[in-house]
Chains A and B, each alone.
Chain A
Amino acid sequence: AQSVTQLDSQVPVFEEAPVELRCNYSSSVSVYLFWYVQYPNQGLQLLLKYLSGSTLVKGINGFEAEFNKSQTSFHLRKPSVHISDTAEYFCAVRGNTNAGKSTFGDGTTLTVKP
């Protein structure tokens, strides 16, 4: 079994400020980890993913995330946000078995204010 907890349901920040969106997970097997972004009335778009290797993963739009196995976390960060980053962000975990079903967190709404 696997689960994902996104620790903040809403994160308001001012433009050009740094931001961190927190994600913890649990799983009985090794996992792959993903962050997706969802803009209003659109589907999910992959921001970045951790499969193996370096624990710091860089993605699109200036986002990065760090995998911490001991703390079972995969927090998303951006050093300076823009108004256009306002969206819903989802963390997801996928077991590394062949079927590989994804489990999503409930999302964090990032609101960037001018």
Chain B
Amino acid sequence: EAGVAQSPRYKIIEKRQSVAFWCNPISGHATLYWYQQILGQGPKLLIQFQNNGVVDDSQLPKDRFSAERLKGVDSTLKIQPAKLEDSAVYLCASSFRQSPLAGSTDTQYFGPGTRLTVL
């Protein structure tokens, strides 16, 4: 079974530039998560999708970050414009959960992440 795929693996940009990350979840997984992991810290949830709808984006800095999952499969996360403090690893994860009402015991499967460096 293929895992969660992410690209690119590494990205270096200058501040005020824009950047986009792509995630392809495990086939059949309805729930998709984007996390930000700053060096020395644990992952922090940015946004959670259930199919193509947003379940939780309370920690997404909406003035510069956006995310979409138009067909309920692949997802993109965009930062525009980037700031120095956005330097981090961006992790995508997916889980099978088919409904927001289905409870929260499902296992999340993580991709390898995209390491972003903002200069």
Question: What B residues does A96 contact at CB under 8 A?
Answer: 103-104
Pair B104/A99 contact, Cβ less than 8 Å: yes
Q: Report the interface size class on chain A.
A: 20 to 34
Pair B41/A102 contact, Cβ less than 8 Å: no
Pair B45/A101 contact, Cβ less than 8 Å: yes
Pick the residue among B40, B41, B103, B110 that contacts A44 (CB under 8 A): B110
Pick the residue among B43, B48, B55, B113 that contacts A90 (CB under 8 A): B43
For B13-36 the 0/1 string (1 means CB < 8 A from A) is 000000000000000000000000
Chain A 29-56 interface residues, beta-carbon cutoff 8 Å to B: 32, 36, 41-46, 49, 51
Question: What A residues does B4 contact at CB under 8 A?
Answer: 43
Pair B91/A43 contact, Cβ less than 8 Å: yes
Pair B55/A41 contact, Cβ less than 8 Å: no
